[in-house]
Amino acid sequence: MKEYRVAIVGMGAVGREMVRILDKSSIPVSDLQLLVRKNDGAMIPFRGKEYLVKRVTPGVFKGVDLVLMAAGGDAAKELAPMARQEGAVVIDNSSAFRMAPDVPLVIPEINPEAAREHSGIIANPNCSTIQMLVPLKPLHDLFKIKRVVVSTYQAVSGTGKKAIDELKQQAEAYLASKKVESNIYPHQIAFNILPHIDSFLDNGYTKEEMKMVNETRKIFGDEDIQVSPTAVRVPVFNCHSESINIETEKPLPEVSEIKKILAEAPGVEVVDDVQNNVYPLAVNCSGTDKVYVGRIRKDFTISNGLNFWVVADNLRKGAALNAVQIAELLVAKDWL
Protein backbone atom coordinates (compact mmCIF):
# COMPACT_ATOMS: atom_id res chain seq x y z
CA MET A 1 0.00 0.00 0.00
CA LYS A 2 1.29 3.42 -0.93
CA GLU A 3 2.11 5.70 1.99
CA TYR A 4 1.99 9.49 2.01
CA ARG A 5 4.12 12.22 3.47
CA VAL A 6 1.86 14.78 5.10
CA ALA A 7 2.38 18.24 6.57
CA ILE A 8 -0.07 20.20 8.67
CA VAL A 9 0.54 23.96 8.85
CA GLY A 10 -0.90 25.83 11.83
CA MET A 11 -1.29 24.36 15.31
CA GLY A 12 -4.26 26.35 16.54
CA ALA A 13 -7.65 24.80 17.35
CA VAL A 14 -8.26 23.64 13.76
CA GLY A 15 -4.72 22.38 13.15
CA ARG A 16 -4.71 20.29 16.31
CA GLU A 17 -8.13 18.91 15.39
CA MET A 18 -6.70 17.97 11.98
CA VAL A 19 -3.99 15.97 13.73
CA ARG A 20 -6.54 14.09 15.83
CA ILE A 21 -8.80 13.33 12.85
CA LEU A 22 -5.89 12.35 10.58
CA ASP A 23 -4.71 10.02 13.36
CA LYS A 24 -7.93 8.00 13.01
CA SER A 25 -8.28 8.36 9.23
CA SER A 26 -7.68 5.71 6.58
CA ILE A 27 -4.74 7.60 5.08
CA PRO A 28 -1.44 5.67 5.39
CA VAL A 29 1.06 8.28 6.61
CA SER A 30 4.77 7.49 6.35
CA ASP A 31 5.93 10.87 7.62
CA LEU A 32 4.19 13.77 9.38
CA GLN A 33 5.44 17.33 9.70
CA LEU A 34 3.73 19.76 12.07
CA LEU A 35 4.59 23.31 11.06
CA VAL A 36 4.01 26.85 12.32
CA ARG A 37 5.37 30.26 11.47
CA LYS A 38 6.27 30.97 15.11
CA ASN A 39 6.01 29.48 18.63
CA ASP A 40 7.45 26.11 17.67
CA GLY A 41 8.76 23.45 20.05
CA ALA A 42 5.54 21.81 21.22
CA MET A 43 5.19 18.02 21.12
CA ILE A 44 1.96 16.55 19.71
CA PRO A 45 1.00 12.85 19.67
CA PHE A 46 0.11 11.04 16.44
CA ARG A 47 -0.37 7.29 15.99
CA GLY A 48 1.61 6.34 19.05
CA LYS A 49 4.52 8.75 18.55
CA GLU A 50 5.33 12.29 19.63
CA TYR A 51 6.00 14.84 16.89
CA LEU A 52 7.89 18.11 17.32
CA VAL A 53 6.23 21.26 15.98
CA LYS A 54 8.74 23.03 13.74
CA ARG A 55 8.89 26.37 11.98
CA VAL A 56 8.23 26.70 8.27
CA THR A 57 11.46 27.17 6.35
CA PRO A 58 12.22 27.33 2.60
CA GLY A 59 12.22 23.85 1.08
CA VAL A 60 10.29 22.31 3.95
CA PHE A 61 7.57 21.02 1.58
CA LYS A 62 9.96 19.21 -0.78
CA GLY A 63 9.07 15.54 -0.77
CA VAL A 64 5.71 16.19 0.93
CA ASP A 65 2.69 14.71 -0.88
CA LEU A 66 -0.11 16.49 0.95
CA VAL A 67 -0.38 19.69 2.98
CA LEU A 68 -3.31 20.46 5.27
CA MET A 69 -3.26 24.23 5.71
CA ALA A 70 -4.80 25.41 8.99
CA ALA A 71 -3.05 28.78 9.05
CA GLY A 72 -4.78 32.12 8.48
CA GLY A 73 -5.47 33.69 5.11
CA ASP A 74 -2.31 35.80 4.92
CA ALA A 75 -0.12 32.84 5.80
CA ALA A 76 -1.97 30.61 3.33
CA LYS A 77 -1.47 33.10 0.50
CA GLU A 78 2.27 32.88 1.10
CA LEU A 79 2.68 29.21 2.01
CA ALA A 80 0.17 27.39 -0.21
CA PRO A 81 1.83 28.49 -3.49
CA MET A 82 5.22 27.65 -1.94
CA ALA A 83 4.04 24.15 -1.06
CA ARG A 84 2.53 23.66 -4.51
CA GLN A 85 5.73 24.81 -6.16
CA GLU A 86 7.70 22.34 -4.05
CA GLY A 87 5.48 19.49 -5.27
CA ALA A 88 2.71 19.09 -2.68
CA VAL A 89 -1.06 19.23 -3.05
CA VAL A 90 -2.56 21.72 -0.59
CA ILE A 91 -5.97 21.57 1.09
CA ASP A 92 -6.44 25.06 2.47
CA ASN A 93 -8.88 25.85 5.26
CA SER A 94 -8.62 29.64 4.93
CA SER A 95 -10.67 31.91 2.68
CA ALA A 96 -7.61 32.85 0.61
CA PHE A 97 -8.36 30.75 -2.49
CA ARG A 98 -12.04 29.82 -2.18
CA MET A 99 -13.31 32.04 -4.95
CA ALA A 100 -10.31 31.64 -7.27
CA PRO A 101 -11.63 30.26 -10.60
CA ASP A 102 -8.92 27.59 -10.85
CA VAL A 103 -9.28 26.34 -7.25
CA PRO A 104 -11.98 23.74 -6.48
CA LEU A 105 -14.16 24.47 -3.44
CA VAL A 106 -15.08 21.04 -2.13
CA ILE A 107 -17.51 19.37 0.26
CA PRO A 108 -17.04 15.63 -0.36
CA GLU A 109 -20.73 14.80 0.23
CA ILE A 110 -21.74 17.38 -2.38
CA ASN A 111 -19.20 17.88 -5.17
CA PRO A 112 -16.40 15.30 -4.84
CA GLU A 113 -15.67 15.31 -8.58
CA ALA A 114 -14.55 18.93 -8.34
CA ALA A 115 -11.49 17.80 -6.38
CA ARG A 116 -10.13 16.01 -9.45
CA GLU A 117 -9.78 19.36 -11.25
CA HIS A 118 -7.25 20.77 -8.82
CA SER A 119 -3.99 22.35 -9.94
CA GLY A 120 -2.24 21.88 -6.62
CA ILE A 121 -4.63 23.74 -4.29
CA ILE A 122 -8.09 22.74 -3.07
CA ALA A 123 -10.11 25.06 -0.85
CA ASN A 124 -12.13 24.05 2.20
CA PRO A 125 -15.38 26.09 2.39
CA ASN A 126 -16.37 28.30 5.29
CA CYS A 127 -17.66 26.42 8.35
CA SER A 128 -21.14 27.96 8.22
CA THR A 129 -21.42 27.24 4.49
CA ILE A 130 -20.47 23.57 4.91
CA GLN A 131 -23.08 22.75 7.52
CA MET A 132 -25.77 24.61 5.60
CA LEU A 133 -25.11 22.96 2.25
CA VAL A 134 -24.79 19.34 3.40
CA PRO A 135 -28.55 19.10 4.16
CA LEU A 136 -29.52 21.53 1.38
CA LYS A 137 -27.91 19.44 -1.38
CA PRO A 138 -30.49 16.59 -1.51
CA LEU A 139 -33.33 19.11 -1.37
CA HIS A 140 -31.76 21.22 -4.11
CA ASP A 141 -31.30 18.16 -6.33
CA LEU A 142 -34.94 17.11 -5.96
CA PHE A 143 -36.86 20.36 -5.66
CA LYS A 144 -34.52 23.14 -6.92
CA ILE A 145 -33.95 25.66 -4.16
CA LYS A 146 -34.35 29.21 -5.42
CA ARG A 147 -33.94 31.16 -2.16
CA VAL A 148 -32.30 30.59 1.22
CA VAL A 149 -32.70 32.81 4.30
CA VAL A 150 -30.24 31.77 6.99
CA SER A 151 -29.34 33.08 10.44
CA THR A 152 -26.24 31.58 12.02
CA TYR A 153 -25.48 31.28 15.73
CA GLN A 154 -21.74 30.74 15.73
CA ALA A 155 -19.58 29.50 18.60
CA VAL A 156 -16.47 31.33 19.76
CA SER A 157 -14.26 28.39 18.78
CA GLY A 158 -14.67 29.67 15.22
CA THR A 159 -12.42 32.56 16.23
CA GLY A 160 -9.85 30.38 17.98
CA LYS A 161 -8.48 29.47 21.39
CA LYS A 162 -8.08 33.10 22.49
CA ALA A 163 -11.81 33.64 22.01
CA ILE A 164 -12.62 30.47 23.99
CA ASP A 165 -10.40 31.71 26.81
CA GLU A 166 -11.98 35.17 26.71
CA LEU A 167 -15.50 33.74 27.01
CA LYS A 168 -14.40 31.77 30.09
CA GLN A 169 -12.70 34.81 31.62
CA GLN A 170 -15.65 37.10 30.93
CA ALA A 171 -18.16 34.63 32.39
CA GLU A 172 -16.06 34.22 35.53
CA ALA A 173 -15.66 38.00 35.89
CA TYR A 174 -19.34 38.69 35.30
CA LEU A 175 -20.48 36.10 37.86
CA ALA A 176 -17.97 37.50 40.37
CA SER A 177 -19.28 41.05 39.75
CA LYS A 178 -15.89 42.08 38.40
CA LYS A 179 -15.08 44.21 35.36
CA VAL A 180 -15.57 42.38 32.09
CA GLU A 181 -12.83 43.08 29.55
CA SER A 182 -13.18 42.52 25.78
CA ASN A 183 -10.12 42.08 23.59
CA ILE A 184 -11.12 39.56 20.92
CA TYR A 185 -14.56 40.89 20.00
CA PRO A 186 -15.71 44.53 19.84
CA HIS A 187 -18.17 43.89 22.69
CA GLN A 188 -18.62 41.50 25.60
CA ILE A 189 -19.56 38.02 24.36
CA ALA A 190 -20.37 36.39 27.72
CA PHE A 191 -24.16 36.45 28.30
CA ASN A 192 -24.49 38.47 25.10
CA ILE A 193 -25.09 38.05 21.36
CA LEU A 194 -23.19 39.91 18.63
CA PRO A 195 -24.81 40.32 15.18
CA HIS A 196 -21.36 40.82 13.75
CA ILE A 197 -18.82 38.28 12.43
CA ASP A 198 -15.83 39.58 10.44
CA SER A 199 -15.75 43.09 8.99
CA PHE A 200 -18.65 44.99 7.46
CA LEU A 201 -18.75 45.63 3.72
CA ASP A 202 -20.22 48.53 1.77
CA ASN A 203 -23.46 46.62 1.18
CA GLY A 204 -24.11 46.36 4.93
CA TYR A 205 -23.33 42.65 5.09
CA THR A 206 -20.22 41.19 6.71
CA LYS A 207 -17.50 39.21 4.97
CA GLU A 208 -18.73 36.11 6.82
CA GLU A 209 -22.22 36.57 5.41
CA MET A 210 -21.05 37.13 1.86
CA LYS A 211 -18.89 34.01 2.07
CA MET A 212 -22.11 32.02 2.47
CA VAL A 213 -23.63 33.72 -0.58
CA ASN A 214 -20.68 33.29 -2.92
CA GLU A 215 -19.55 29.87 -1.76
CA THR A 216 -23.06 28.42 -2.08
CA ARG A 217 -23.25 29.50 -5.71
CA LYS A 218 -19.80 28.11 -6.52
CA ILE A 219 -20.30 24.74 -4.81
CA PHE A 220 -23.78 24.20 -6.24
CA GLY A 221 -22.73 25.58 -9.63
CA ASP A 222 -25.84 27.77 -9.57
CA GLU A 223 -25.46 31.53 -9.91
CA ASP A 224 -29.23 32.03 -9.67
CA ILE A 225 -29.72 30.70 -6.14
CA GLN A 226 -30.43 33.56 -3.74
CA VAL A 227 -28.93 33.50 -0.23
CA SER A 228 -29.83 36.06 2.44
CA PRO A 229 -27.62 35.53 5.53
CA THR A 230 -27.25 37.04 8.99
CA ALA A 231 -24.21 35.78 10.92
CA VAL A 232 -24.33 36.04 14.71
CA ARG A 233 -21.72 35.24 17.37
CA VAL A 234 -23.14 33.59 20.49
CA PRO A 235 -21.62 32.70 23.89
CA VAL A 236 -21.21 29.00 23.06
CA PHE A 237 -17.81 27.34 23.23
CA ASN A 238 -18.18 24.96 20.28
CA CYS A 239 -20.66 24.02 17.51
CA HIS A 240 -22.43 26.41 15.18
CA SER A 241 -26.22 26.44 14.89
CA GLU A 242 -28.27 27.75 11.98
CA SER A 243 -31.91 28.58 11.38
CA ILE A 244 -32.60 27.95 7.70
CA ASN A 245 -35.60 28.84 5.55
CA ILE A 246 -35.76 27.71 1.93
CA GLU A 247 -38.12 28.28 -0.96
CA THR A 248 -38.13 25.75 -3.78
CA GLU A 249 -39.30 25.86 -7.39
CA LYS A 250 -40.95 22.44 -7.25
CA PRO A 251 -43.66 21.51 -4.72
CA LEU A 252 -42.37 19.96 -1.53
CA PRO A 253 -43.69 16.63 -0.22
CA GLU A 254 -44.99 16.08 3.31
CA VAL A 255 -42.60 16.68 6.20
CA SER A 256 -42.35 12.95 6.86
CA GLU A 257 -40.97 12.43 3.35
CA ILE A 258 -38.55 15.34 3.74
CA LYS A 259 -37.25 13.78 6.95
CA LYS A 260 -36.69 10.52 5.09
CA ILE A 261 -34.81 12.30 2.29
CA LEU A 262 -32.55 14.08 4.78
CA ALA A 263 -32.01 10.96 6.89
CA GLU A 264 -30.69 9.15 3.80
CA ALA A 265 -28.37 12.00 2.78
CA PRO A 266 -24.62 11.45 3.37
CA GLY A 267 -23.29 13.22 6.43
CA VAL A 268 -26.75 14.12 7.79
CA GLU A 269 -28.53 12.88 10.90
CA VAL A 270 -32.14 13.86 11.57
CA VAL A 271 -32.79 14.66 15.23
CA ASP A 272 -36.43 15.70 15.31
CA ASP A 273 -38.96 14.64 17.93
CA VAL A 274 -40.38 17.90 19.20
CA GLN A 275 -43.08 16.19 21.26
CA ASN A 276 -40.27 14.95 23.49
CA ASN A 277 -38.14 18.10 23.20
CA VAL A 278 -35.63 16.37 20.93
CA TYR A 279 -33.76 18.57 18.44
CA PRO A 280 -30.09 19.29 17.68
CA LEU A 281 -28.19 21.00 20.49
CA ALA A 282 -24.65 22.36 20.46
CA VAL A 283 -23.81 20.65 23.77
CA ASN A 284 -24.70 17.26 22.27
CA CYS A 285 -22.99 17.72 18.90
CA SER A 286 -19.52 18.83 19.98
CA GLY A 287 -16.85 16.30 19.07
CA THR A 288 -19.01 14.53 16.48
CA ASP A 289 -18.86 14.43 12.69
CA LYS A 290 -22.43 14.64 11.38
CA VAL A 291 -24.58 17.62 10.42
CA TYR A 292 -27.67 17.39 12.62
CA VAL A 293 -31.08 18.60 11.37
CA GLY A 294 -34.28 19.13 13.35
CA ARG A 295 -37.35 21.37 13.82
CA ILE A 296 -38.30 20.45 10.23
CA ARG A 297 -41.57 22.16 9.32
CA LYS A 298 -43.35 23.76 6.40
CA ASP A 299 -43.29 27.54 6.05
CA PHE A 300 -47.01 28.31 5.90
CA THR A 301 -46.44 31.89 4.70
CA ILE A 302 -45.29 30.90 1.19
CA SER A 303 -45.73 28.11 -1.29
CA ASN A 304 -42.92 25.56 -1.32
CA GLY A 305 -41.30 26.88 1.85
CA LEU A 306 -39.50 24.93 4.56
CA ASN A 307 -37.88 25.78 7.90
CA PHE A 308 -35.34 23.72 9.81
CA TRP A 309 -32.57 23.93 12.42
CA VAL A 310 -29.01 22.71 11.80
CA VAL A 311 -26.13 22.13 14.22
CA ALA A 312 -22.60 20.87 13.54
CA ASP A 313 -19.17 20.90 15.16
CA ASN A 314 -17.49 23.81 13.40
CA LEU A 315 -13.98 22.62 14.25
CA ARG A 316 -14.66 19.17 12.79
CA LYS A 317 -17.11 19.07 9.87
CA GLY A 318 -16.86 22.84 9.54
CA ALA A 319 -13.08 22.73 9.14
CA ALA A 320 -10.67 19.92 10.07
CA LEU A 321 -12.87 16.92 9.24
CA ASN A 322 -13.91 18.27 5.85
CA ALA A 323 -10.24 18.85 4.97
CA VAL A 324 -9.25 15.31 5.96
CA GLN A 325 -12.25 13.93 4.05
CA ILE A 326 -10.96 15.73 0.95
CA ALA A 327 -7.54 14.17 1.58
CA GLU A 328 -9.11 10.72 1.90
CA LEU A 329 -10.95 11.32 -1.37
CA LEU A 330 -7.72 12.27 -3.17
CA VAL A 331 -5.97 9.16 -1.85
CA ALA A 332 -8.87 6.80 -2.61
CA LYS A 333 -9.29 8.11 -6.15
CA ASP A 334 -5.54 8.56 -6.79
CA TRP A 335 -6.12 12.23 -7.60
CA LEU A 336 -2.98 13.51 -5.89
Q: How confident is the model at residue 65 (pLDDT cuts 50, 70, 90)?
A: very high
The answer on 294 and 158 residing in a single domain is yes
- Please provide the average confidence, as pLDDT, over all residues in the chain: 97
The answer on 180 and 301 residing in a single domain is yes
Condensed to tens digits (0 to 9), the pLDDT of residues 253-282 reads 999 999 999 999 999 999 999 999 999 999
The answer on 256 and 117 residing in a single domain is no
Condensed to tens digits (0 to 9), the pLDDT of residues 38-53 reads 888 899 999 999 999 9
> From start to end of the chain, where are the E strands?
4-9, 29-36, 43-46, 49-55, 66-69, 89-92, 121-123, 145-154, 226-233, 240-248, 268-270, 291-298, 305-312
Condensed to tens digits (0 to 9), the pLDDT of residues 188-215 reads 999 999 999 999 999 999 999 999 999 9
Regarding pTM above 0.85, the answer is yes
Question: Structurally, how many domains does the chain consist of?
Answer: 2
Condensed to tens digits (0 to 9), the pLDDT of residues 127-156 reads 999 999 999 999 999 999 999 999 999 999
Residue 1 scores a pLDDT above 90: no
240 is catalytic: yes
The answer on 52 and 140 residing in a single domain is no
Tell me the CATH number at 115.
3.40.50.720
Tell me the CATH number at 169.
3.30.360.10
pLDDT at 187: 98
127 is catalytic: yes
The b/e string for 25-36 (b: 16+ C-beta within 10 A; e otherwise) is bebebeebbbbb
203 Cβ contact list (under 8 Å, min separation 6): 210
Condensed to tens digits (0 to 9), the pLDDT of residues 286-317 reads 999 999 999 999 999 999 999 999 999 999 99
The answer on 182 and 105 residing in a single domain is no
The answer on 134 and 80 residing in a single domain is no
Determine which one of 118, 140, 239, 240 is catalytic. 240
The answer on 138 and 67 residing in a single domain is no
The answer on 146 and 46 residing in a single domain is no
The answer on 152 and 108 residing in a single domain is no
The b/e string for 113-147 (b: 16+ C-beta within 10 A; e otherwise) is ebbeebebbbbbbbbbbbbbbbbbbbbbeebebbb
pLDDT at 53: 96
The answer on 105 and 144 residing in a single domain is no
Determine which one of 127, 140, 239, 285 is catalytic. 127
The answer on 179 and 56 residing in a single domain is no
The answer on 135 and 103 residing in a single domain is no
Q: What residue numbers bound the domain in which 245 lies?
A: 129-314
